[in-house]
């Protein structure tokens, strides 16, 4: 049996900085030439424009705040057992806090909401009352009543 010996391969010459830079530029140019930029991959617009909120029927700031909180729950959804959930739904207190310009406004709106809840249901906290509701409709109704109360008191 005859063994064939391959000629010894010479080790490749190490590239200098300039040669590596030229290769990198060529690689980037090849990628840019072969992969066109699609603006749909870069620019994301909402598929639907969100509906404009209804103008507040109330002239007073706290009544307007309660009206906006109601609209927020209608838009993003109502949450029963937490301030908010992974889908963006919110409880009444969280909706009020998100819509309030100041913490004082949020506190005042929550006090009015609790007053209407205590009068109609006897509950002593908003979260306890919120947990007992079967759906968003009673929550929206109480926010309406609280807004009417705020308006009647010029708040």
Q: What is residue 56's predicted lDDT score, i.e. its pLDDT?
A: 86
Distance between CA atoms of residues 93 and 73, nearest Å? 11
Q: What is the pLDDT of residues 88-131, one digit of tens each?
A: 999 999 999 999 999 999 999 999 999 999 999 988 999 999 99
Is residue 91 assigned to a domain? yes
CA-to-CA separations, 72 to 2, 36, 40, 79, 143, in angstroms, rounded? 87, 41, 30, 12, 11
50: pLDDT confidence band, cut at 50, 70 and 90? low
Is residue 115 assigned to a domain? yes
- For residue 110, the enclosing domain spans 61-152
Is residue 49 assigned to a domain? no
Q: pTM for this structure? A: 0.67
Return the bridge partners of 31, or none.
Answer: none
Is residue 50 assigned to a domain? no
Q: How many structural domains does the chain have?
A: 1
């Amino acid at each position: 049996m005859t063994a064939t010996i391959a000629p010894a391969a010479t080790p490749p010459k190490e590239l200098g900085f300039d040669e590596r830079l030229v290769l990198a530029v060529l690689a980037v140019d090849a990628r840019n030439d072969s992969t066109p930029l699609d603006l749909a991959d870069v620019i994301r617009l909402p598929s639907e424009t969100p509906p404009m909120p209804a103008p507040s029927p109330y002239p007073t700031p706290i009544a307007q705040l309660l009206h906006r909180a109601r609209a927020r729950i209608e838009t993003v959804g109502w949450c029963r057992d937490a301030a908010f959930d992974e889908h963006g739904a919110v409880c009444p207190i969280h909706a009020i806090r998100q819509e309030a310009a100041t913490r004082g406004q949020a506190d005042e709106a929550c006090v009015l909401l609790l007053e209407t809840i205590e009068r109609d249901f006897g509950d002593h906290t908003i979260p306890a009352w919120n947990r007992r509701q079967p759906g968003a409709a009673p929550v929206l109704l109480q926010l309406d009543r609280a807004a009417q109360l705020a308006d009647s008191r010029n708040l």
